[in-house]
Each structure stands twice: as C-alpha cells, then as structure tokens.
Structure 1
Amino acid sequence: MEVTHLLCIALQRKSQDILNAMHLVSSTTKLLKNFRDSGWDDFLVKVKLFCKQHQIDIPCMNAQYIARCGKSRSNHDEISVKHYYRVDIFLATIDYQLQKLHSRFNDYIVELFVLITALDPRNGFILFKIDDICKLAEKFYPNDFIE
C-alpha cells in the first residue's frame, strides 16, 4: 500500500523530528480510514485496468465465491466474489494496517510525543510551549507535581 510505504520511509529518516512523525502517523491513519470507507470502487477500477493491461483474467464479481485450499463454506451463507474481495481481502487488509498503526501509535503515545517536543533543545527550544509542558506534567505525571 502506497500510503503506508510512504509513512515507513519517512519514519526511517534519521532527520525526522517527533512532531512531524506524529503528524505523518495521524494523516496516514485518516487516509487509510477514508480509503477503507470510500475507496473500494476506485480501487476495483484500477485493479481491473491493471488486469486488462497484463492480460489477467478478471473473475465475474457477481458469481458465487467458492473457497479453495480446503476451506469449506458449506455451513456459511453464499457470498459473491465481489463480497469476498471487498470484505475478506480489501477491508481485512486495511483493518490490519490500521490495527498495527494503532498498536504502535495509539492516541496516548501520540499525545505524549507531541507534548514532549516542547522539551526539545534543538534550535534554542524553538518548540518550547509552557502550556504543553504544563499539560504534560498534569496528564502524565500528576503525582510528581503538586500545586
């Protein structure tokens, strides 16, 4: 997936600052969610075009899906090929990517990283924000700072 590939490359740069990395994670998550919710039709058009250009047979999407490799759907509802590719492949893959991103960069971690950028000494503490430091202390170290 191009979106996650670009994020991966950006996060591997040694010059990457934390704040920019967190914005990249956030925007990538939003793009993936948008792609999941409304990207299927455009994606399917691109896949069909790719198949035609490379002379790959395109299955009838309205046909009944028949499981291969020993998986039997005899006790399950009949599903179409289109349903299989959309739900079991497309949505499952995006959900997996979103789950991996969330497990590594959950809201708590992202907020923590954004707030600690206020403590970055580079460029004469250019990112220094007293409000962020106070929020960091209140939220993540409430027992260490008493008024």
Structure 2
Amino acid sequence: MYLVSSTTKLLKNFRDSGWNDFLVKVKLFFEQHQIDIPCMNAQYIARRDRSRSYHDEINVEHYYRMDIFLATIDYQLQELHSKFNDHTVELLVLNTVLDPRNGFMLFKIDDICKLAKKFYPNDFMENCASKNRTSTF
C-alpha cells in the first residue's frame, strides 16, 4: 500500500509541477539525438478529423501539455484509483493485521473485528463486540 500511495503522490506532484522539468529533459533528448524541436509557441494545427474550432486558439506547447502530458497522468491516476479504490485499500490495510511475521507484531484485535464485520459479516459470529480484548497469541 505504501507503493500505491507514494506512486499516487508522485504522479500528482508531477502533474501539478513537473511539466517544466519534463519539457527541459525532452528538449535535451531531442538535441542529443539531433531531432528538430518544434516551436512551442506556434499555433497547433490538428492533423486528424478533430474539430478545428477546439484547436484554433491553442499553441503547440498547450497541446502537448494538456492533451498529452496531463491526459496521460490523469489516465494513470484513474487506473490506480480504479484498482485501489478506498474500499480495496481498507481491505488490504486491515489484512496486514493477519501477517504472522515477527510473532504477529501487527496483530490488533480491533482491526480483526473490523475486518470480519465489514468484509465477512456472514462468515463470523458476533464475537468481536468487546474492543478491550487482548490477543491470545
């Protein structure tokens, strides 16, 4: 869950403030490989069957930033959220209490009861009523 959380934060940070650094790296790559760098202030002209009215007023940099860079990051964030939505994250976090490493160091009876009540209500009887119970491990 740490990797999902940190990846989401990094992507959001990259989305919000990474464009300029990214553009510098792209330009450097172009120069190193002798690729012509397009004029970013030039008016963008749509190539395919897109509506010209949408792209009439934008420049090349705007197109690459909004339609490519931000759209790609938004898609990645959306995919992460769809795979690891709040419900899934809660289930995975609660499951960490069942980790037997280090003598069940993460074992917390309250979290086990919450896991059983919320995700497996039909599989367990009401034995998790008391919050002050201690582990028998």
**Which whole-Å CA distance do the structure 2 matches of 1:72 and 1:121 have between them?**
57
Structure 1: 5+ residue stretches without partners: 1-21
The structure whose RCO (Cα within 8 Å, separation 6+) is larger is 1
Q: Taking structure 2 as the reference length, what is the TM-score of the superposition? A: 0.81
Equivalent residues, number? 125
Q: 2:46·2:52 contact (CA, 8 Å) conserved in 1?
A: no
Q: 1:137·1:145 contact (CA, 8 Å) conserved in 2?
A: no
Would the alpha carbon gap of residues 145 and 37 (structure 1) be closer, same or farther in structure 2, given more than 3 Å must change?
Answer: farther
> Which runs of structure 2 are paired with 1:1-147 in the superposition (5 Å)?
22-68=1-47, 70-76=48-54, 77-141=56-120, 146=126, 147=129
**Which whole-Å CA distance do the structure 1 matches of 2:116 and 2:50 have between them?**
56
Q: Taking structure 1 as the reference length, what is the TM-score of the superposition? A: 0.76
**Once structures 1 and 2 are overlaid, which stretch shifts more, 108-117 or 81-90?**
108-117
Q: For residues 64-122 of structure 1, what are the alpha-carbon distances to aligned partners after superposition, in whole Å with 9 as ceiling and x for unaligned?
A: 11112x32432324211001000000001101111111111112111110111101223
**Which whole-Å CA distance do the structure 1 matches of 2:59 and 2:108 have between them?**
55
> RMSD across aligned C-alpha pairs, in angstroms?
1.8
The alpha carbon displacement at 1:39 in A equals 0.5
Runs of 4+ in 1 over 3 A off after TM superposition: 137-147
**Which whole-Å CA distance do the structure 2 matches of 1:81 and 1:66 have between them?**
8
Q: 1:118·1:133 contact (CA, 8 Å) conserved in 2?
A: yes
**Which whole-Å CA distance do the structure 2 matches of 1:83 and 1:145 have between them?**
59
**Which whole-Å CA distance do the structure 1 matches of 2:85 and 2:64 have between them?**
29
Q: 1:118·1:125 contact (CA, 8 Å) conserved in 2?
A: yes
Q: Kindly provide the amino acid, as one letter, of the partner of residue 74 in structure 1.
A: R
Partner of 2:132: none
**Which whole-Å CA distance do the structure 2 matches of 1:72 and 1:125 have between them?**
58
